[in-house]
Structure 1
Amino acid sequence: MSDETIPELEREEIVKVWQKSARQPIHPWLRPIFVGVGLGIAIALGGMGVLTQLPARQEKAVANKITPKSQPVLTVTVSPVETTRVSRTLNTTGTIAARDLIPVLPQANGLQVKIIPEDIKEGTYVKKGQVLAILDDSMLQAQMSGARAEVESKQADVGSKQASVVSQQATVASYQAIVRQRKADLAQSKAKLEEAQKNYLRYRKLAMAGAISLQELDTRAYTVKTATEAVRLAEENIRSAQANVISAQATTGSAEANIYKAKADVRTSVAKIIQLQTQLKQTVVRAPVSGIVAEKLARVGDVTGIPPQTQVGTVIGGTQKLFSIIRDGRLELQAEVPEIQLPQVQIGAAVQITSDIDNRVQLQGRVREIQPLVNDKRREATVKIDLPLTNLLRPGMFARAAITTNTALAMAVPQKAVQPQADGSAIVYTLSGDDLVQSQKVEVGELINSELVEIKNGLQLGDRVIVDGAGYLKDGDRVKVKS
């Protein structure tokens, strides 16, 4: 290849670069750069004609002075600075607690704990109705046998009283029949008396007329007297029979009252049996709700209602607590918030929960309740935060909470693009042109999620930042951008 062909080849290469650049989209902020590049190319093309006139020796000297372009040191990926919503948070701490701690109390006192299933331990999840303990029911069984025998005796007494009532009712009916008979006898006696009186009046007229003797008249008068006595006697018999009916009815009423009393005694005995049956059911201690066993205080051999000396503090309302259950295993974070920051907290606000001792704890909670009272010594209020179901937390543990107070638009870049510095600051590498790297100091704000971070200052929207490979670069490096 001769020296005279070199300018022509270089000219063709420059034209190709220019055409390639012309096909690429030009951002507004890049146009001045490309104008300058175009002017440079024009000057270069004009200079080529001069170079062709130089002697070969001078042309080689000029070529030796041209510095070759540096090669890219790394292939990287870039990402533009973009806007996104950033959550402003209030950081606080608190204690994990059971959202709803249910005490399990014995319903029957004075009974010994006989059995506790082996699988009932602290931390065990139990279902509603599951057996937690069985109490000794031998004393109640003996009382049940006595109550059943008493019911049978009372029921037999009721049968006897009912038979007595039936007998008395028969007696009343008999006396009522006698009364009816006596009334019939009275009617007959009255009829005879009336007939005797009529005969006496007729014979008295005959005697006054001298048709019959006085002796005959006396006979008729005696007949009237006898009939009158018969009527009186019949009336007396009726009164006596009626008195017997009243007496028999009173006896029947008394017998019926005895039946009512006997039946009441039966009901009392049956109620006692029902009570004992209820107490027998209560000897089986069951879980009132589903959840996690937080405390197991009962031991085999303990007597309900008489807590051991070590469990004096577990008595509730005079009754010994046997177990406590975290309903549905639900936990909450009881966070302390200063009163001056309390207006920033809203019910339903999202909360990020973390732990200093377990980096696996990355939970999303929600504010459920703000306690109405403020501690008058620390000037703090308790904010209760609902937690999702998890095995990573236990009541009594310490945790941190970032309570979302509001959201706003902000600039953001991938977290991998931000490079922390020894002095506590941070930088990012931006892409200038197609392949030149420049370092830029930035002010970092909130972490938005597991991938993005807020940039408060140092960048503008549309800036391109190096993401993959940023940790291996320095200012002024040339890179190859991976599409």
Structure 2
Amino acid sequence: MTVGDESSSKVEMEDSLRAEDADLGQKLQDRQTRLWLMPLLLGTGLGLAIAFGSMGILNHRPTGQQNAIAKPPAKLKPSMTVTVATVETASVARTLNTTGTVAASDLIPVLPQTNGLQIKKIPDNIQEGAFVNKGDVLAVLDDSVLQTQITQAKADMESKQADMASKQADVTSKQASVSSNVAIVKQRQADLAQAQARLEEAEKNYQRYQQLAASGAISQQELDTRSYTVKTARETVRVAEENVRSTQANVGGSQANITIAQANVNKAKADVRNSAAKIGQLQAQLAQTLVVAPVSGIIAEKLARVGDMTGVPPQTQVGNVIGGTQKLFSIIRDGKLQLQAKVPEIQLSLVKVGATVEVTSDLDRLVELQGRVREIEPMVNDQRREATVKIDLPPTKLLKPGMFARAAITTSSTLGMTVPQKAVQTQPDGSVIVFMLSGEDIVRAQKVELGEPLNGNRVEIKSGLKLGDRVVVKGAGYLKDGDKVLISPEG
């Protein structure tokens, strides 16, 4: 055998060995597969045998026994306990919806009673939004100049009072002088009467002596003596009369002096009164250095600042000058607010004074106030064709002047179907449903159309329900259509 033949023989043997190995491996794999499938096939066959056997047995049982073995269908259990309410009729208010601005019903400006004084102090509690009572001190003005003027006026009045006392003493003196002169007049009048009596006696004696002289009973010398006596008596009377006139003139002069002195006293009294009036005026101005609240209410504006001069507003407050006087504060009388709502001209006839109004705010859900129409302004805006309706608001801290609010003005009332507000469920698509009872304990979702909200947390139903229908209230938010419920006796 050649070398080539040997090589060829080796190759053939290797191929034969590889073929045998391959056959052996396939046989081992097939055997393992058969071993794995055997239990599965046995189990399946056993299960089928049992099943067919059971069917055969059942086919031979009576019908009643078959029904007894069959399981009954499961009963629907209640999903939850709910309360229900009946659709009822109630008075429904028809409203006109509008908007407006909150304002003060009566805004009172606080002005200084004295200009040209510096604001010295403002109490700490005087702030915007604070409530003050009538007479509360809002600001204190500097009174030092007034105090000095009052001191000077009091000193001047004391001087005038002293002068008046001196004038009054002079009047008393003049009155004493008059009394004295009157006494002298009386004395002179008495002297005159005595002189007149002597003259009369002398004249009678002279007449008698003239008769005696004519008869020669007395001498001419003696008659001349009696004549001289008469002349002396007459001169005495004349002097006495002059004395009376002189003393009477003195009395007149003294009385004139009294009049002058009394006039001086009156003038002095007038000076004293003027001084007292000036002091009173200064004291009144001193009282005016206390700026007090003219009414009770809420401070809406605080424009005064310590250091400002009254009557000389800062440049930033030029618009706050009223009648030439700077406004220091403004007060909402009694804290009363009003809503100035705008109503179109074509709907104005629907609004009546005294109508109730529901006031709400988009910014604060807590604002749910009931107001009342107080006044409808007679003028209609010629550009927007709107009128302003003034609505009185109840006391509240939720609204402030300048805020925006909504108003639902009651225009009329009628009967309508109503359900509790909690029975109404708003859906994602914006529709509204209620769950009404179908039978005794199954609920069905029912779309409804809402009307006006009512007091007592009820709402009007325009369509979708009828009187007497029962709707779920408590628990409605957790139900779905077709649920079985247990009705609570609370409803």
Q: TM-score, normalised by structure 2?
A: 0.82
Aligned equivalent of 2:325, options 315, 319, 337: 319
Q: Which residue of 1 aligns with 2:141?
A: 135
Distance in 1 (CA, whole Å) between partners of 2:340 and 2:148 is 50
**Structure 1 segment 362-441 matched on structure 2, within 5 A:** 362-441=368-447
User: Which letter maps to 1:106?
Assistant: P
Q: Which residue of 2 aligns with 1:92?
A: 98
Aligned equivalent of 2:291, options 262, 282, 285: 285
Equivalent position SS for 1:267: helix
The structure-2 alpha-carbon separation of the partners of 1:174 and 1:303, relative to structure 1 and needing over 3 Å to count, comes to same
The structure-2 alpha-carbon separation of the partners of 1:477 and 1:139, relative to structure 1 and needing over 3 Å to count, comes to closer
Distance in 2 (CA, whole Å) between partners of 1:422 and 1:308 is 57
Q: Which residue of 1 aligns with 2:236?
A: 230
- Give how far 1:74 is off: 4.0
Q: Which residue of 2 aligns with 1:46?
A: none
User: Which letter maps to 1:131?
Assistant: V
Distance in 2 (CA, whole Å) between partners of 1:224 and 1:471 is 147
Equivalent position SS for 2:212: helix
Aligned equivalent of 2:190, options 174, 184, 187: 184
The structure-2 alpha-carbon separation of the partners of 1:348 and 1:181, relative to structure 1 and needing over 3 Å to count, comes to same
Distance in 2 (CA, whole Å) between partners of 1:173 and 1:415 is 105
Q: Which residue of 2 aligns with 1:163?
A: 169
Q: Which residue of 2 aligns with 1:332?
A: 338
Distance in 1 (CA, whole Å) between partners of 2:426 and 2:69 is 44
Distance in 2 (CA, whole Å) between partners of 1:468 and 1:106 is 62
- The one-character-per-residue Cα deviations of 1:172-226 (angstroms, maximum 9, x if unpaired) are 1111111111111111111111111111111111111122222222221221122
Moved more, 281-290 or 306-315: 281-290
Distance in 2 (CA, whole Å) between partners of 1:435 and 1:272 is 93
- Give how far 1:357 is off: 1.1
Aligned equivalent of 1:173, options 163, 173, 179: 179
User: Which letter maps to 2:389?
Assistant: V
Equivalent position SS for 2:346: coil
- Give how far 1:56 is off: 4.3
- Residues 1:341 and 2:347 aligned together: yes
- Give how far 1:81 is off: 0.9
Distance in 1 (CA, whole Å) between partners of 2:144 and 2:449 is 77
Distance in 2 (CA, whole Å) between partners of 1:310 and 1:73 is 69
Equivalent position SS for 1:413: strand
The structure-2 alpha-carbon separation of the partners of 1:78 and 1:59, relative to structure 1 and needing over 3 Å to count, comes to farther
- The one-character-per-residue Cα deviations of 1:224-262 (angstroms, maximum 9, x if unpaired) are 122112111211111111111101110011001110110
- Give how far 1:479 is off: 3.3
Q: Which residue of 1 aligns with 2:246?
A: 240
Distance in 2 (CA, whole Å) between partners of 1:131 and 1:337 is 41
Equivalent position SS for 1:145: helix
- The one-character-per-residue Cα deviations of 1:339-397 (angstroms, maximum 9, x if unpaired) are 22222222222211111111111122222222222222222221222222222111111
- Residues 1:146 and 2:152 aligned together: yes
Distance in 2 (CA, whole Å) between partners of 1:138 and 1:477 is 86
Once superposed, what is the RMSD of the aligned Cα atoms? 2.2
Q: Which residue of 2 aligns with 1:210?
A: 216
- Give how far 1:422 is off: 5.0
User: Which letter maps to 2:256?
Assistant: A
- Give how far 1:61 is off: 6.5
Distance in 2 (CA, whole Å) between partners of 1:73 and 1:112 is 78
The structure-2 alpha-carbon separation of the partners of 1:68 and 1:136, relative to structure 1 and needing over 3 Å to count, comes to closer
- The one-character-per-residue Cα deviations of 1:387-442 (angstroms, maximum 9, x if unpaired) are 22222111111011111222222111122323334554433332232223334332
- Give how far 1:293 is off: 1.9
- Give how far 1:71 is off: 4.2
The structure-2 alpha-carbon separation of the partners of 1:175 and 1:367, relative to structure 1 and needing over 3 Å to count, comes to same
- Give how far 1:63 is off: 10
Distance in 1 (CA, whole Å) between partners of 2:220 and 2:79 is 176
Equivalent position SS for 1:216: helix
Distance in 2 (CA, whole Å) between partners of 1:94 and 1:359 is 17
- Give how far 1:162 is off: 0.9
- Residues 1:267 and 2:273 aligned together: yes
- Give how far 1:456 is off: 1.5
Distance in 2 (CA, whole Å) between partners of 1:300 and 1:315 is 18
- The one-character-per-residue Cα deviations of 1:143-164 (angstroms, maximum 9, x if unpaired) are 1111001110000001100111
Aligned equivalent of 2:124, options 95, 118, 125: 118
- Residues 1:480 and 2:486 aligned together: yes
Aligned equivalent of 1:77, options 74, 79, 83: 83
Aligned length: 429
Equivalent position SS for 1:121: coil
Q: Percent identity?
A: 67
Structure with larger Rg: 2
- Give how far 1:289 is off: 2.2
User: Which letter maps to 2:329?
Assistant: F
- Residues 1:457 and 2:457 aligned together: no
Distance in 1 (CA, whole Å) between partners of 2:163 and 2:480 is 109
Distance in 2 (CA, whole Å) between partners of 1:77 and 1:170 is 111
Moved more, 107-116 or 117-126: 117-126
The unaligned stretches of length 5 or more in structure 1 are 1-54
Equivalent position SS for 1:243: helix
Moved more, 75-84 or 61-70: 61-70
Distance in 2 (CA, whole Å) between partners of 1:352 and 1:293 is 26
- The one-character-per-residue Cα deviations of 1:305-359 (angstroms, maximum 9, x if unpaired) are 1111111111111111111122222221111112222222222222111111111
The structure-2 alpha-carbon separation of the partners of 1:298 and 1:479, relative to structure 1 and needing over 3 Å to count, comes to closer
User: Which letter maps to 2:307?
Assistant: G
Equivalent position SS for 1:371: strand
User: Which letter maps to 1:204?
Assistant: Q
The structure-2 alpha-carbon separation of the partners of 1:156 and 1:471, relative to structure 1 and needing over 3 Å to count, comes to closer
Moved more, 460-469 or 273-282: 460-469
The structure-2 alpha-carbon separation of the partners of 1:466 and 1:204, relative to structure 1 and needing over 3 Å to count, comes to same
Distance in 2 (CA, whole Å) between partners of 1:255 and 1:71 is 121
Distance in 1 (CA, whole Å) between partners of 2:71 and 2:139 is 97
Q: Which residue of 2 aligns with 1:37?
A: none
